Amino acid sequence: METTLRGVGVSHGVAIGEVRHMGTAVLEPPAKRITADEAEREQGRARKAVEAVSADLIARGQLAGGEAQHVLEAQAMIATDPELMADVDRRIAVGSTAERGIYDAFASYRDLLAGAGEYMAGRVADLDDVRNRIVARLLGVPMPGVPDSDEPYVLIARDLAPADTALLDPTLVLGFVTEEGGPTSHSAILARALGVPAIVALPGACEIAEGTVIAVDGSTGDLFVEPSDEKRAELEAAAAERKAALAAASGPGATSDGHKVPLLANVGGPADVPAAVEAGAEGVGLFRTEFLFLDDSKKAPSEEKQTESYRKVLEAFPEGRVVVRVLDAGADKPLDFLTPADEPNPALGVRGLRSLLDHPDVLRTQLTALAKAAEGLPVYLEVMAPMVADRTDAKAFADACRAAGLKAKFGAMVEIPSAALRARSILQEVEFLSLGTNDLAQYAFAADRQVGAVSRLQDPWQPALLDLIAMSADAARAEGKSCGVCGEAASDPLLACVLTGLGVTSLSMGAASIPYVRATLAKYTLAQCERAAAAARACDSAEEARVAAQAVLSGE
């Protein structure tokens, strides 16, 4: 009998197939004791297992490339954390086996992260995956992970570790569903990059029996258990219609009456560029530069290395717009040379621009490298600072850009509610705004973006978030400047129309979403988008806002 479950759709498309569950997590190793004579041998076993898992994660990242590579390299750093390994050695020295020492040390570290205001919840999931991989290697049992199958299937898991998501084979994994996670979790971001339909934060998903036929609609978040023939036909027809619309849409982003809305790509480095170019991106709206800094958490990369990497991205978009975000470290992206180790709540501490202003040499080197990378190129370079709180922050960043001789537009990201409330003041110092809707929602609703239990508050359709976006766009319009969106909200085609109606001047997203957004925008006039935006803001919940906007655009 057909039943319907509802989660959070995070990656467009429809998948129909049999359920396969993620491999079982490693069992807790026995509390076996060793003698003092065996301690050195066990410590060696632990180190070898850690090194092997770290190397495997790095290799997986190199194979996957792009956003996945950055996430997996960060996981490899977790595996080899010196303090964590020192704790493992101590536990083995007093009688634990290698596997038990690893298990207990990671559990202790996990408790520390979970107690840090839960902002680090996303890293807790990554930590569990690293622990399981090390323990599995020590026990000589199969690694937890994606099941082996010769036939295509829909994958269900409590959560998906980046190491698993990164190497999913889209020819076999038709789509995936998780009980946990949120719309801005690592799994959601990687799913969009892969173009695999996905639903997260769906309670009870793991209770669906292996082999059950399900249909996943990654656009709506609906999961249909044992769908009827009629439902299958309806979903397949909708998917075919979307595919035809994608094929018909091409060229620059614009509404049906010619209002231009540049569609840009979010990239993490040179590896992401080919997909962006293929999708017809008109430039880059968010160039995350963190990937360069993950190679060595002890020191920043050289000016030469940064210049070389930045130039590769800039060269891919001749006469296009490339917006670079300077290093955004801290909170869930700590770097030893930059991030305080003893912050009680890293999410509300020294992160983003605050870290860079505390380490002006790091900021100066990055800005100088960007200036050199752009020399002689016709690209329109724009550079923006993360986590800008007020006009003082904006002025400090603009002054640093000028001091570095950077010939580019300087901008500020709006990720803190104070920046939206005082956007016009900030625009006295910079030339554009870029809305990071993931963090803006997190701080506006006090809702960790990695915690599935609060995913409804991370929904970019929340009317309060739309109000903050409108406030920023109105300020930019009043100052004759631009205001783009580079958060995950831009990847929702329907919401892209609403953002356009709110006055947003450009949209940046993962490359896989660009064709969907281009095709949907081309169906509606600017006036329709403005009416849909007004209808959404008049609502009191995210679901009501989505329905109201859809009704306006459908002419209901």
Q: Say what the pLDDT of residue 153 is.
A: 94
- The answer to whether residue 426 scores a pLDDT higher than 90 is yes
Q: Does 106 or 537 have the greater pLDDT score?
A: 537
| pLDDT 10s digits, 94-129 | 999 999 999 999 888 777 665 544 434 456 667 788
When pLDDT is cut at 50, 70 and 90, the band that residue 194 belongs to is confident
- The answer to whether residue 25 scores a pLDDT higher than 70 is no
Residue with the two structure tokens 């959601």: 188
Q: Where are the beta strands (DSSP E) in 436-539?
A: 482-485, 506-509
Run of H or E including 336? none
Least-confidence region, from 27-41, 88-102, 334-348, 520-534 = 334-348
Q: Which positions ≥6 away from 556 have C-beta within 8 Å?
A: none
Q: What is the pTM of this model?
A: 0.70
Average pLDDT over residues 313-332: 88
CA gap 127, 105 in Å, rounded: 11
Half-sphere exposure of 399 (CA within 13 A, CB side): 9
Q: Does 420 or 335 have the greater pLDDT score?
A: 420
- The answer to whether residue 269 scores a pLDDT higher than 50 is yes
Average pLDDT over residues 343-356: 84
Average pLDDT over residues 133-150: 80
Phi-psi region at 503: left, alpha or beta (left = phi > 0; alpha = psi -120 to 50): left
Question: How buried is residue 150: exposed, middle or buried, by Cβ count under 10 Å (0-12/13-18/19+)?
Answer: exposed
- The answer to whether residue 326 scores a pLDDT higher than 90 is yes
Q: Which one of the listed residues 401, 486, 497, 539 is annotated catalytic?
A: 486
Active site annotation includes 70: no
Q: Say what the pLDDT of residue 387 is.
A: 96
Q: Say what the pLDDT of residue 216 is.
A: 96
Q: Say what the pLDDT of residue 365 is.
A: 96
Run of H or E including 222? strand 222-225
Calculate what percentage of the chain has a pLDDT beyond 70.
91
Q: Which one of the listed residues 186, 359, 483, 497 is annotated catalytic?
A: 186
Going across the sheet that includes 3-6, the strands are: 3-6, 222-225, 213-217, 14-21, 153-157, 173-178, 198-200, 8-11
* Single-letter amino acid code for the residue at 10: V
* Single-letter amino acid code for the residue at 527: A
Average pLDDT over residues 351-356: 92
Residue 173 β-bridge partners: 153
Q: Say what the pLDDT of residue 390 is.
A: 98
Q: What does pLDDT average to over the chain?
A: 88
- The answer to whether residue 463 scores a pLDDT higher than 90 is yes
CA gap 476, 458 in Å, rounded: 25
Q: Say what the pLDDT of residue 450 is.
A: 61
Active site annotation includes 497: no
Query: Using alpha carbons only, how large is the chain's radius of gyration in Å?
Result: 24
Average pLDDT over residues 321-350: 79
Q: Say what the pLDDT of residue 119 is.
A: 38
When pLDDT is cut at 50, 70 and 90, the band that residue 184 belongs to is low
Backbone angles phi, psi at 333, to 5 degrees: -130, 60
CA gap 532, 494 in Å, rounded: 10
CA 216, 222, 225: angle at the middle one, nearest 5? 65
CA gap 457, 469 in Å, rounded: 16
Q: Does 249 or 285 have the greater pLDDT score?
A: 285
